[in-house]
Amino acid sequence: MKSISKLLILALLLSCTLSFAQTGSGMDKIKSLKIAFITERLSLTSDEAAVFWPVYNEHEAAMEELRLRERDEIRNRLQDFRNMSDQQIQQLMDQYLALQEERNRKNTAFLKRMTNLISARKTFLLIKAEDDFKRRLLQQIRQRRQ
């Protein structure tokens, strides 16, 4: 049974990878690949998956919101960096540090919650799976550029 589910996940990964090269929303395809990759790496039971994915998706949405805030509130304003006063730059630094603290608080709360939901072992597997997925995605992007 486990080997069949792994084969299905690998088939999904392959089909998503092949369709990634075709037209359509690249971000949706990347998300699909990431879901399949994490599911395969964590070997979640159906009960674990039922509690894992809503919490994971909620956290991903919160992190995306923070990335957008950082881009809008900080990075876009830095384009005029040379013309800003020291006081304005200090205010931006304070905002940036506050966003980083918020990101750290949310990540810490998320990891603690995941540890309670799926175990510390699988939470570490999640951290590793996310890193591995990013690394593979960057490798594929580099290969396509060549």
Q: Where are the alpha helices (DSSP H) in the chain?
A: 2-20, 26-42, 46-70, 86-118, 120-145
Query: Residues 79-90: what's their mean pLDDT?
Result: 88
The domains of the chain are located at: 1-43, 45-145
Distance from C-alpha of 5 to C-alpha of 68, rounded to nearest angstrom = 36
Taking only the tens place, the pLDDT of each residue in 101-126 is 999 999 999 999 999 999 999 999 99
CB atoms within 10 A of CB 36: 21
Q: What is the pLDDT of residue 78?
A: 82
Q: What is the pLDDT of residue 51?
A: 95
Dihedral sign, CA of 139, 142, 144, 146? negative
Confidence tier at 5 by pLDDT (50, 70, 90): very low
Taking only the tens place, the pLDDT of each residue in 51-74 is 999 999 999 999 999 999 999 888
